[in-house]
Amino acid sequence: MQRINEDIKNGNFRQSYLLYGEEAYLRKQYRDRLKNAMIRDDDTMNYSYLEGKDISVGAVIDLAETLPFFADRRVIVVENSGLFKHGGEQLAEYLASPADTAYFVFVETEIDKRSKLFKAVSSKGTAVEFPVQSEATLKKWIFGMIKKEGKQITEPALHYFLEKTGTDMENIRKEMEKLICYCMEKEAIREEDIEAICTKRVGSHIFDMINAIADKKQKKALDLYYDLLALKEPAMRILFLITRQFNLLLQVKELKAKGLDNKSIAAKISLPPFVAGKYAAQAARFRTSDLRAALEACVEAEESVKTGKMNDIMSVELLIVYYSTG
């Protein structure tokens, strides 16, 4: 990030940038900052935005080879292309010696560092990862937003806010805007304000549901499931999130068994350390064999829906009932 900030400040840009990682908010922020620094807002003639897996590499190169219209550079933003995992070889070769006026900003969630395209951008340009931010970084950012509005928040209230919103910065920003508007006439933001106005993220429902399953609290687990359905979450997405949670718990449990601490576990499976700590506590409530069996059951539930043996809502409900039965 520091390198990009310096380039923007100095107005001296590399010809290719790659912004990647799980934190979408930061990827978008730096994408827009680079674009706005390299080209005027109203210059649509020399700006191209391409998105999706069906992007033609040949068309991208043709754009790069087109001379800019009364400007010093042509800016091409390529987002969610998948080219940094496969299919980017031709573009990698082109980036070894691109047109002097062509400037690329690539934006991806997942990349393969072994790919030729990643190596080409890393060699000739700048590649920056935007991972999920640490609890300390998020708290500092939130404190900054609150201070700017002339308000205060206690440490317990801030912790509760993060539990509600999760670590996604775009979601945090939206929920903070709601919270500040709700507390317009107040000097301090309290936990009751957060409870009243902030939306609980889907991930929190899933985490609480798995806790209820571990405690064999069937009614609570099912109530959380019905809440998610009421929020218009598709049953198959809920199943995916349950599967993902069991898979993460299995990974955490196996890494704990190898003697790794929460910080090391967090680095291994790309989680903030404070989240890894919560997962470690939840994983401790299950046997390894139970987690493996739960994952197999999730796969079977998905298969029963795909083959038409059972509808999606009932399939997930039976899975929850089975594992929450005392």
pLDDT digits (tens, 9 = 90+) for 25-63: 999 999 999 999 999 988 999 999 999 999 999 999 999
Q: Which two tokens stand for residue 125?
A: 């340009």
In this prediction, residue 71 carries a pLDDT of 93
Q: What is the mean pLDDT of the chain?
A: 92
pTM over 0.85: no
CB-based contact 100:109 (threshold 8 Å): no
Task: Please check whether the domain covering 202-324 is classified as CATH 1.20.272.10.
Answer: yes
Backbone angles phi, psi at 247, to 5 degrees: -65, -45
Q: Give the number of other Cβ atoms within 10 Å of residue 84's Cβ.
A: 25
In this prediction, residue 255 carries a pLDDT of 95
Q: At a CB cut-off of 8 Å and minimum separation 6, what does 287 contact?
A: none
Whether the predicted pLDDT of 326 surpasses 70: no
Whether the predicted pLDDT of 104 surpasses 90: yes
pLDDT, one tens digit per residue, over 236-267 is 989 998 998 899 999 999 999 999 998 899 88
Q: Which CATH superfamily is domain 2-129 in?
A: P-loop containing nucleotide triphosphate hydrolases (3.40.50.300)
14-18, 49-53, 211-215, 288-292 — which is least confidently predicted?
A: 211-215
Could you tell me the residue ranges of all domains in the chain?
2-129, 135-197, 202-324
* Candidates 1.10.287.130, 3.50.50.60, 3.40.50.410, 1.10.8.60; CATH matching 135-197: 1.10.8.60
What is the SS3 assignment for 104? strand
What is the SS3 assignment for 61? helix
Domains 135-197 and 202-324 share a fold: no
In this prediction, residue 103 carries a pLDDT of 98
**Across 31-171, where does the E strand assignment appear?**
47-51, 74-79, 102-108, 126-129, 152-153
Region 200-209: mean pLDDT is 81
Residue 211: pLDDT band with limits 50, 70, 90: confident
Residue 316 CA to residue 235 CA, distance in Å, equals: 7
